[in-house]
Amino acid sequence: MELLSAYLKKAIPGVNDAWNKGMVADLALTITPELIFFDKQSLLKGDMTFVWLSWFIESIYDYNLAPDNIVYADVFSLVRRGLLKSGLSEDSEHFVVIWKNVSKVIYTFICRMQGRKRQSVTKTLKEDLVSLAQNDLKCWICGYRFSHDSIQLFLNQPGSIQLPSLVDYLSPRGLVERDLKIEVEHKQPFSSGGGDLDDLDNIDLSCGYCNRHKWKFLSIYDANRSLRSFSHSRLGLVSVPQPYWVIRLLALADRCTEAGCTVTKNKQQLYVDFINDIGSAAPTNLKVVCRKHLRNSGDRFVSAVNFKDRTKKGRRSLL
Interaction site with Zn ion (CB under 5 A): 139, 141-142, 144, 207, 210, 256, 258, 261, 263, 290, 293
Smaller CB separation from Zn ion, 164 or 193: 164
**Minimum separation from the CB atom of position 53 to Zn ion (A):** 28
In angstroms, give the least distance from the CB of 121 to Zn ion: 18
Q: Which is nearer to Zn ion, 268 or 311 (CB)?
A: 268
* Nearer residue to Zn ion within complex by CB, 287 or 293: 293
User: CB 264 → Zn ion: shortest distance, Å?
Assistant: 10
Nearer to Zn ion, 61 or 144 (CB): 144
Comparing CB distances to Zn ion, the nearer of 102 and 263 is 263
Q: How many other CB atoms sit within 10 Å of the CB of residue 33?
A: 15
Q: What letters, b where the CB count within 10 A reaches 16 and e where it falls short, cover 73-96?
A: eebbebbbebbeeeebeeeeeeee
Distance between CA atoms of residues 245 and 281, nearest Å: 9
Surface-to-core class of residue 119, CB atoms within 10 Å of its CB (0-12 exposed, 13-18 middle, 19+ buried)? exposed
If the CB atoms of residues 106 and 180 are measured against Zn ion, the closer one turns out to be 180
Q: How far is the CB of 150 from Zn ion (least distance, A)?
A: 12
> What sign results for the dihedral spanned by CA atoms 151, 155, 160, 161?
positive
